[in-house]
Copies of this chain bind each other. A is one copy, B any other.
């Protein structure tokens, strides 16, 4: 003899009936939107509670033309830095009451499809941590008032906001640290298909060396890894000249691989050469990889990303903004002691 209807879910209609009001009132009570007397509101909420009412987000989204979903585009999430970043992003997304639609992509085409899919779900925003979205699609998002924010992407699409670690500053810190140790022969290690962030780091590193009087033509060697990640760094170490002194790596995985590759050759940091990485992944604080590294502030990166998203939601036509997040040098045991 339950008073519940035969239907599967309790609807606003059910609540309305039981509370003796109209559906509209129920909607107002729950959304805190539109005027309603405190008394009615309380009663409706009470009944809703009793009935275990839960808003149907699909219906709500359909009506509002916007779901409580935020699309996140990632790739290779088993990479430690990327999974940490995703972690930070998820926390932040959930903290703001959204749910994350996560999509892993393997190429630009999948990125395009994913972006389309996201719009079909009327997401409240898109966060791109990997790949470069085709401008046409992004423009469509912009037109639909779906905020798009890129993390560590080249800030070049109008209408998109960006948040980037301050790669230049980081690379400069690395260069200065190495120079102060009195080195003369420097190395820069990156992968063949580097991201924009990686390239920035390399350019800034060279630039900083140069400004400190290093003849980079002769004293900076550029190592390019054929593969991404640990393996790439490991193999790159096989053929590096052993007279090299201070090496800066585009990211943590490359650095760990390089360190191991050198170990295999019997060379160790900081005695035989010195190494600075980027990212400060958990692995680089482990006993066996005590890597001096530039710390990316993932929490801040995530916060800023959401902040941009929300700001643009309020004002869809505001000019594009890029936030630069400070990086800091973490001194460990692969570089000169300070």
Contact A90 B117 (CB under 8 A): no
Mind listing 13 A-B residue pairs with CB under 8 Å?
A: A8-B143, A9-B144, A54-B116, A58-B121, A76-B87, A80-B80, A90-B103, A99-B103, A100-B101, A100-B102, A102-B102, A263-B288, A288-B289
Which one of B87, B119, B264 contacts A287 once the chains associate, using CB atoms below 8 Å? B264
| A interface, CB within 8 angstroms of B | 8-9, 54-59, 61-62, 65, 67, 69, 76-78, 80, 83-84, 86-87, 90-91, 94, 99-104, 116-117, 119-122, 143-144, 230, 234, 256-257, 259-261, 263-264, 282-283, 286-289
Q: A58-B61, A263-B287 are in contact. Are A99 and B83 (CB under 8 A)?
A: no
Contact B54 A62 (CB under 8 A): no
**Which 7 A-B pairs give the minimum distances between C-beta atoms?**
A83-B83, A260-B287, A58-B62, A102-B102, A58-B61, A90-B104, A78-B84
The complex places the Cα of A257 from the Cα of B289 at a distance, in Å, of: 12
The complex places the Cα of A8 from the Cα of B316 at a distance, in Å, of: 14
User: Which residues of chain B come closer than 8 Å to A263, judged between CB atoms?
Assistant: 287-288
User: Which residues of chain B come closer than 8 Å to A91, judged between CB atoms?
Assistant: 104
Contact A65 B8 (CB under 8 A): yes
A317 to chain B, nearest CB (A): 15
Q: A94-B103, A144-B9 are in contact. Are A56 and B120 (CB under 8 A)?
A: yes
The complex places the Cα of A102 from the Cα of B54 at a distance, in Å, of: 20
Which one of B9, B58, B116, B261 contacts A67 once the chains associate, using CB atoms below 8 Å? B58
User: Which residues of chain B come closer than 8 Å to A101, judged between CB atoms?
Assistant: 69, 99-102
Closest-by-CB residue of B relative to A88 is: B78
The complex places the Cα of A186 from the Cα of B277 at a distance, in Å, of: 38
A230 to chain B, nearest CB (A): 6
Contact B58 A282 (CB under 8 A): no
User: Which residues of chain B come closer than 8 Å to A116, judged between CB atoms?
Assistant: 54
Contact B78 A87 (CB under 8 A): yes
Which one of B57, B87, B103, B121 contacts A77 once the chains associate, using CB atoms below 8 Å? B87
Closest-by-CB residue of B relative to A82 is: B83
User: Which residues of chain B come closer than 8 Å to A90, judged between CB atoms?
Assistant: 77, 102-104
